[in-house]
Amino acid sequence: MKLIYAIVRNDNEDDVTSALSRAGFSITKLNTTGGFLRKGNVTLMIGTEDDKVDQAIELIRSECGESQKITIDMPFISGVNMVNYATMPMQVAVGGATIFVVNVERYEKF
């Protein structure tokens, strides 16, 4: 048995959970926040048999779509004393999913 941790953007959560549920996967959802852009995301925990891992990942991939790029202003520190602050536009890839698959040593449901 495997446990899939899938971290997806809030924007994709409904589509991903609907697709996984239709395919018969059980999901536990945790609301989380990303560290870099501080944007809301969702961590999905999906327990499944080994032979269904690829199917779950493919469903997640198809619903999260291509990564989009957004431009944000990041602080840029300049000068020897690092006192001068300016903003610098930066493109950041967002979307997609981050997925971890781990072995489950023991599983009980009661």
Domain boundaries, the chain: 2-67+94-103
CB of 33 closer than 8 Å to CB of 40: yes
For residue 76, is pLDDT > 60? no
Sign of the alpha-carbon dihedral angle for 56, 62, 22, 8: positive
Report pLDDT for 94. Answer: 63
* Fold observed for domain 2-67+94-103: Alpha-Beta Plaits (3.30.70)
Q: How confident is the model at residue 95 (pLDDT cuts 50, 70, 90)?
A: low
Report pLDDT for 78. Answer: 57
Q: Span 25-42, mean pLDDT?
A: 81
Token reading at 37? 């852009």
**Cα-based distances in Å from 74 to 17, 91, 107:** 33, 10, 44
The residue ranking higher by pLDDT, 16 or 81, is 16
Q: With pLDDT > 70 as the criterion, what percentage of the chain qualifies? A: 68
